[in-house]
Structure 1
Amino acid sequence: MQRGLVSHLKDFLLELGPDFAFMAEEYRLQVGQQDFFIDLLMYHRRLQALVAFELKITAFSPSMMGQLDFYLEALDRDHRLAHENPSIGVLLARSADTQVVEYALARSASPALVARYLTELPDKTLLEAKLSEFYALEEGDKPDDH
């Protein structure tokens, strides 16, 4: 299911225009002796920043933010070039409890960066609508249980 979602979302992001450049699917990060993989890694030319997309087929949980923050730290320490801005993370989950999301983000270390980038990234409602479409497509591909 995640592979189909990645495929559809990758196509959608590439349609957003020339500022987004596709870098990798399942981008490998090595931290210590362990390997980790970012679902999609894009680069935003105008923002001059790596953009990590994590795609979750389940409802949002606060631990997902910890995972994304870890990936962003690894990108910034080991992959970001000197002239680039700090990496940006986008977490797309199947659904979310608004209050849980608010609590998870309440102590974010860089709220100013989030506010700065929101105007440059795709519109939140557009991403939500596209994500709903992708999930509906994936559910339509499942065989019946009859």
Structure 2
Amino acid sequence: MKEFKLNNIPKIEPGFKTPDDLYFANFSANLLDNLPKNEPKTISLFQRKKAIIMMVAAIFVLALVIPSLINNTSQSNQLDSATLENYLSYQSNFNQYDLINALDEEDINSINTNIVLEDQTIEDLLVNNNNLENYITE
């Protein structure tokens, strides 16, 4: 093998040369001139992902809320008569005069209906019920 001496062999010149000083002085002006004037609008993929995530979250919330709303609206807001009677009977400071004072004329007219009972119905009730004293005292 041939002996290699770094200082004696002619060196190869590099293929890259730096341009003269005017190139670097005018570089920013040349770059701005070469840029396109009207750039197209770009839509970020993150914004699309964000919109999709928000839609999925809204659908998820609706899926959780709608069944509870259906259950709440299906339940009646009016009290049944048994609950109302129990409440009124166990309130010691509520009497019939308080009830009369709380009613207005429309309520009284709606209560004032004639109930027609047949004699046979009354007889059956009296025969089957052992608490005749309650009916007599009331």
Q: Pick the TM interval, shorter chain.
A: under 0.3
Q: Which has the higher contact order (CA 8 A, sep 6+)?
A: 1
Flag the structure with higher strand content: 1
TM-score by length of 1: 0.22
Flag the structure with higher helix content: 2
TM-score by length of 2: 0.22
Higher radius of gyration, 1 or 2: 2
